[in-house]
Structure 1
Amino acid sequence: MLARFHSLLPEIVEFRNLEKCPLTVLEDENWLCDLGFIVDITKHLNDLNVQLEGPDQLLHSMYSKIKSFTPMLDLCCLLERFNARFTDIKSKKLELDIFSIPFIVTPASAPSELQLELMKLQSDDTLKAMYLNMPLLEFYRVYVSKKEFPNLRASALKWSSVFGSTYLCEQFFSKMKYTKSRYRSRLTDENLGLQLRVSTSSICPNIERLVKKKEYRKSH
């Protein structure tokens, strides 16, 4: 909206003058500079917000995007407010690093229950090669077993289940809105829950297998 308003400034000024209601502020250079700054910074904030939304977003990757955006805020007041907004996640940086870059973290800096497991993980060149050549969650699922790395696996399960935005909740309620409409008055709460579970799941159903489990009658 701000960008659209800024692009239409000449037309707005002309219209106000035609209506005999000129706005002197629209011709004030200082005010226009402030407006240009607001338009620019809100665009960048909106772009960041879009990057933080979407499915399959892990907290450590979202935090990386936030860190890469911070240097753009080279204005004291704005930078302070931005940093204050993400104080909680910054306090968890070490735990996020252990989850996302376990081969780089210094074991001595990790919590005591993770130190030996990190040493064992980092000393295994095969595991390091697998880590570098496959998705992070797939690496933990296949190679970080509960038997060998119980604490690291538990930590990975914790941080992979944390979501850093309300995107999933908003998506869920949007689907519920379209599923439970006034045209489906006979839809029960139980059926609604089952339909929403299917619509929000990333698992592809095996329709052929499901059909085989059902009995059917042949036509005579």
Structure 2
Amino acid sequence: MNVSALRTRLHFLQRSRVPVPLPRSNVPGNGLLWPVAWAILRNKGQNTTVNIGAEFARWETLKAQRGMKSDVELATFLLNRSSSSYQHRMLREFLREVDADADDLLLHNNVRWLSKGRVLSRFWSIRREVASFLAQAASQKATQFSDFLENEKHMDNVAFLVDITSHLNELNIRLQGKDNSVCELMTAVRSFQKKLEVFKEDLQADCAHFPTVQEQVQGQRDVLSFVDFIDKLIVNFSNRFDSFSFGQHLTMFIQNPFLITDVRGFSKEVTQHFKWANVGHLQMQLVDLQADVALKEQFVKTDPSTFWLQVVPETAFPGLRKVALHILTMFGSTYNCEAAFSTMNIIKTKYRSRLTNEHLQMCMRIALTPFKPRFKILASQARAQFSH
């Protein structure tokens, strides 16, 4: 970028009805022209008086902070950054004109746990429109991005990332929620570990579980690098979750105790995790529970948590109920904690500066409790105070 390009930028601002005066040719040297011109651009023409000494010092400081050697390099960086919002508006208008599947690209955010998959999916749906837009843009970065979109190998990688992040997002959604027990979470993880083996074989066959890869590659290019990626995922999942020692009997005990056939194996697994458990009592209580037809019918009508906490009588099955309570009260994820912090941020704002810790605790309890007040009953019990 040179001085004429900067003048073009200033002319554009003038055509946009922004009162920006062009720098005069009698400014002493191009070394001062850049700081002065950037000061005018930064102020959007609202302040036509420029302190040349202060702006020159600011320009040199900024150039040193960015590690840039020339004025042209810094000017290119600043002008490209200032025009990014304009390019964004032009992209949105272009996508609307061509009736694309989406009218904008999504911005990736590390805090949002589904962001990567959604960003990639959105980009893939409008990749052809984005390529057309970049072909019309006359800039070095646009040319680089356009070359990236035209590279088949790069787009193969993007297609694979679209599919694999979609599968990972499905797992993430299954792992979220308030009432998921640790057994349900581990069931989802074990299921996904088996799916990874299926994905590995599928990539070497017809890519039925990778529709984006199938559309992009069409059997014409090698996908061995994707198989290696799946292998690494399998190893990572094994390293992270294989140390979790809950076996099949304990998982089945929570989800459906009436399906357990190996009573001795169940009691042995329980005593491995809970040293206080009595093997003989657990075996007899499990047999009695499975023989109770009424409890079996109640189990079909309710969810496992409600069944163990409210339906199973503690007097008849104290050992089984205690084991179930220990398992159900384990925190399988940080979802509840994160939800509580989000609720607290909504309640405790800068506009409620007089909110005490006691009142905050009460508000948090009301906001997070699953119980709903029965207002009709409370209102019917209220007594009006008539004046004498």
Alignment TM-score, normalising by the size of structure 1 = 0.84
Distance 2:130 2:310 in 1: 61
Distance 1:173 1:185 in 2: 18
Post-superposition CA distance 1:62-81 (Å, at most 9, x none): 33333333333233222222
Post-superposition CA distance 1:140-184 (Å, at most 9, x none): 234422222111101111222223222211211111111111111
Say if 2:54 is the partner of 1:54. Answer: no
Say if 2:272 is the partner of 1:104. Answer: no
Structure 1: 5+ residue runs without aligned partners?
Answer: none
Distance 2:313 2:234 in 1: 41
Q: How does 1:4-153 map to 2 (within 5 A)?
A: 4-17=122-135, 18-21=137-140, 22-23=143-144, 24-73=147-196, 74=200, 75-89=230-244, 91-93=245-247, 94-105=249-260, 106-112=262-268, 113=278, 114-153=282-321
Point out the more displaced range, 135-144 or 33-42: 135-144
Distance 1:81 1:51 in 2: 19
Tell me the number of residue pairs that the alignment of Structure 1 and Structure 2 aligns: 219
Whichever residue aligns with residue 304 of structure 2, its letter is L
Distance 1:5 1:146 in 2: 55
Q: In the TM superposition, what is the alpha-carbon distance from 1:61 to its structure 2 partner?
A: 2.5
The answer as to whether partners of 1:117 and 1:152 remain within 8 angstroms in 2 is yes
Q: Which has the larger radius of gyration?
A: 2
Distance 2:182 2:232 in 1: 26
Instruction: Tell me the residue number matched to 1:185.
Output: 353
Specify which of 316, 319, 324 is matched with residue 156 of structure 1.
324
Instruction: Tell me the residue number matched to 1:203.
Output: 371
Q: In the TM superposition, what is the alpha-carbon distance from 1:219 to its structure 2 partner?
A: 4.5
Distance 1:143 1:49 in 2: 31
**1:203/1:143 Cα in 2 relative to 1: closer, same or farther (>3 Å)?**
closer
Q: In the TM superposition, what is the alpha-carbon distance from 1:129 to its structure 2 partner?
A: 2.9
Determine helix, strand or coil for the equivalent of 2:258: coil
Say which structure, 1 or 2, has more relative contact order (CA 8 Å, 6+ apart): 1
Post-superposition CA distance 1:73-127 (Å, at most 9, x none): 23322222223332244x2133222222212222111235322221222233333
The answer as to whether partners of 1:175 and 1:199 remain within 8 angstroms in 2 is yes
Alignment TM-score, normalising by the size of structure 2 = 0.50
Distance 2:130 2:330 in 1: 46
Q: In the TM superposition, what is the alpha-carbon distance from 1:190 to its structure 2 partner?
A: 0.3
The answer as to whether partners of 1:100 and 1:136 remain within 8 angstroms in 2 is yes
Q: In the TM superposition, what is the alpha-carbon distance from 1:20 to its structure 2 partner?
A: 4.7
Identity of aligned residues (%): 33
Distance 2:345 2:387 in 1: 39
Distance 2:161 2:383 in 1: 64
The answer as to whether partners of 1:58 and 1:160 remain within 8 angstroms in 2 is yes
**1:88/1:32 Cα in 2 relative to 1: closer, same or farther (>3 Å)?**
same
